[in-house]
Chain A
């Protein structure tokens, strides 16, 4: 061994040493770094200049987009449509209020020391949907009615994902408990329900909801398109939710069940007071992850003719007034989704790490 016995302490590693160790250790690594670095430079350069340096940000119409870069004007001009769909301009404050409340409920969850953040989160899960139920469609308290066919854009995406996850939570809990039941028939029903929904792609579920649901319902009873999509999404999602929660239930040690039994708690009290609170807390990261995938999957509703954020963009990029704005549109939507999903997944990873260390003491 030619190496010195004492390696320098970590803080003393100079940038040059670091570069040598991590980029140029041996001919193989050096070659790799050089090739990858070269590809990166010739690849990323044009992308950056397209995105920023050559891009058009300001102007009043399609004619101002003359540069070789991206035409962000397209996004800013049509932003209103991308966010609210066809929701009437003068009523958009109602949606804005919901956005505000949503942020108020969940932004504190990212801040460790925020006082009472639990209560904000609780409001988000209970109060927020109630407020939204009255505020967004209108019809009560003298609020003008806005048909659900006019909802669209980011707002619709959030509604679909949020209601989908919220409604599937209780169904998922019931299914998960059913799947762990000692009664074979109850267990069998739950297994079949869960496995069938999990086996089929969401798109078939959405087709089913939009084509078959009207057939299933008695004459004269029907739902709007949005409602049908929500029913489909909720049923589909509840199967995934059930599996996540089942994982939590399985992780509860047997001693907890036994201790509850020994104290004379019956099945429902045992489940409600001892098992579920622990299991649900354990699976929060799992629930957040299913939320992320549902959030991405809501884009599929455009196939059955709803205008979510991707739907609004997709319908706008073919606008003859704007030439070749497809990439700008897709980059914009991708950015929106990425910010949401990446942020939330980071949050869930942190939580996972914390639960991991916090649980065993």
Chain B
């Protein structure tokens, strides 16, 4: 807010000594430099691409890709377009990231809590895990799982099998696939109904507790509802679910769900590696809740289990969540190491094969970077919203 009276200033400074003019000048130079640099790059790139006969533009996305991809969540074959390869790669990246995030979070929380265990052996074991895993490069761990462990599994004919329905060999892990039949919609309906009922129950229980002080065992009853209602629906619809079992056909298995070793190795390595970082975050988060807080809770006569739930965890979560989300971001970025073992993620499929075939480096790299940038911005947006919410609670 500038409230200047010009007349009170006899003579303005010489432009060179006016910080405002200086700052405009410097910023102008900075913009000019950025544009000049950008222009040089674009100019060089265009002339280089022309001399190499590479076409420009995003038209290639509609061309036929002509290569196969070993795993895809959406229907894909070699006759589809490069645009489709992008989608396949993106889905695969998101799949392994989501799987990794779930596993790493569970494992990380367990190890983080174990690190604080009063049992010396457990605490030290957790410490050793953290210090070993996080000081070894992730790529090496991926290689280890892929080449050394999964690579040494038996061939399909000598598969490790459990109950004739689970098979493990060097081509992957084969699981029976549930095939919903007609009438399965009832089960989904029952699941949704159960969720609604539980939410309603929680609200009612809370209201009742506020009014009468009685505590309703929401958790136990809720779990029971969530299990019983869908089961009833399932039986009522006449058990409309069949399983497709994997079976050996020739040299390989067919049918069922296949977890290819590339996915398994990447998933295991990403989860174990990230868990070691999450464990440290959890540990310091819990430690950050000062001892005085627990003591205050004890002094109020709150029992230990409730103290953890009502006092320690809410405060620790506030410390844990921001670094935790950045670990999720790291995990997603690290999933791009898939390229090294041939798991068809975004980087491997799109920045690898598609780029090699089309030669359109600028477009492909730009799209890929845009995807990661979007993920990262989305996560920081979430973090900002969370931080704001947490900060409000503090006042």
Judge whether B151 is part of the interface by a CB distance below 8 angstroms: yes
Give the docked Cα–Cα distance between A338 and B135 (Å).
Answer: 5
Whether the Cβ atoms of B139 and A299 lie closer than 8 Å is: yes
A295 → B minimal CB distance (Å): 8
Whether the Cβ atoms of A33 and B121 lie closer than 8 Å is: yes
Residue with the greatest number of chain A CB neighbours at <10 A, chosen from B51, B120, B121, B368:
B121
Could you say which residues of chain A place their CB within 8 Å of the CB of B334? 201
Contact (A22, B376) CB under 8 Å given A211-B361, A212-B365, A216-B44: no
Contact (A330, B34) CB under 8 Å given A23-B119, A186-B27, A208-B365: no
Judge whether A256 is part of the interface by a CB distance below 8 angstroms: no
**Mind listing 15 A-B residue pairs with CB under 8 Å?**
A32-B119, A33-B121, A185-B30, A195-B376, A196-B369, A196-B373, A198-B376, A199-B369, A199-B372, A199-B377, A201-B337, A211-B355, A211-B361, A302-B139, A303-B340
Whether the Cβ atoms of B369 and A203 lie closer than 8 Å is: no
Give the docked Cα–Cα distance between A333 and B132 (Å).
Answer: 13
Looking across the interface, which residue of chain B has its beta carbon closest to that of A343? B135
Whether the Cβ atoms of A204 and B368 lie closer than 8 Å is: yes
Whether the Cβ atoms of B373 and A199 lie closer than 8 Å is: yes
A221 → B minimal CB distance (Å): 9
Judge whether A345 is part of the interface by a CB distance below 8 angstroms: yes
Chain B residues 124 to 169 lying within 8 A of chain A, measured CB to CB, are 125, 131-132, 135-140, 143-144, 147-148, 151-152
Give the docked Cα–Cα distance between A195 and B372 (Å).
Answer: 11
Judge whether B47 is part of the interface by a CB distance below 8 angstroms: yes
Could you say which residues of chain B place their CB within 8 Å of the CB of A32? 119, 121-122
Give the docked Cα–Cα distance between A184 and B152 (Å).
Answer: 57
Judge whether A255 is part of the interface by a CB distance below 8 angstroms: no
A213-241 interface code vs B (CB 8 A; 1 in, 0 out): 01111110000000000000000000000
Residue with the greatest number of chain A CB neighbours at <10 A, chosen from B44, B47, B51, B334:
B44
Contact (A303, B151) CB under 8 Å given A185-B31, A204-B365, A216-B41: no
Give the docked Cα–Cα distance between A200 and B26 (Å).
Answer: 29
Chain B residues 15 to 46 lying within 8 A of chain A, measured CB to CB, are 23, 26-27, 30-31, 34, 41, 44-45
User: Which of A208, A299, A337 is in CB contact (< 8 Å) with B135?
Assistant: A337
Give the docked Cα–Cα distance between A186 and B375 (Å).
Answer: 25
Give the docked Cα–Cα distance between A156 and B339 (Å).
Answer: 22
Total number of A residues with any Cβ neighbor in B under 8 Å: 55
Whether the Cβ atoms of B119 and A29 lie closer than 8 Å is: yes
Whether the Cβ atoms of B365 and A186 lie closer than 8 Å is: no
Could you say which residues of chain A place their CB within 8 Å of the CB of B231? none
Whether the Cβ atoms of A297 and B137 lie closer than 8 Å is: yes
Looking across the interface, which residue of chain B has its beta carbon closest to that of A205? B369
Whether the Cβ atoms of B365 and A211 lie closer than 8 Å is: yes
Looking across the interface, which residue of chain A has its beta carbon closest to that of B346? A204
Looking across the interface, which residue of chain B has its beta carbon closest to that of A344? B135
Whether the Cβ atoms of B48 and A36 lie closer than 8 Å is: no
Give the docked Cα–Cα distance between A314 and B146 (Å).
Answer: 12
Judge whether A355 is part of the interface by a CB distance below 8 angstroms: no
Whether the Cβ atoms of A201 and B347 lie closer than 8 Å is: yes
Could you say which residues of chain A place their CB within 8 Å of the CB of B373? 195-196, 199-200
B283 → A minimal CB distance (Å): 14
- In the A-B complex, the 6 residue pairs with the closest CB atoms: A199-B376, A22-B120, A341-B135, A201-B333, A185-B27, A296-B137
Whether the Cβ atoms of B119 and A189 lie closer than 8 Å is: no
Whether the Cβ atoms of A204 and B140 lie closer than 8 Å is: no
Whether the Cβ atoms of B355 and A334 lie closer than 8 Å is: no
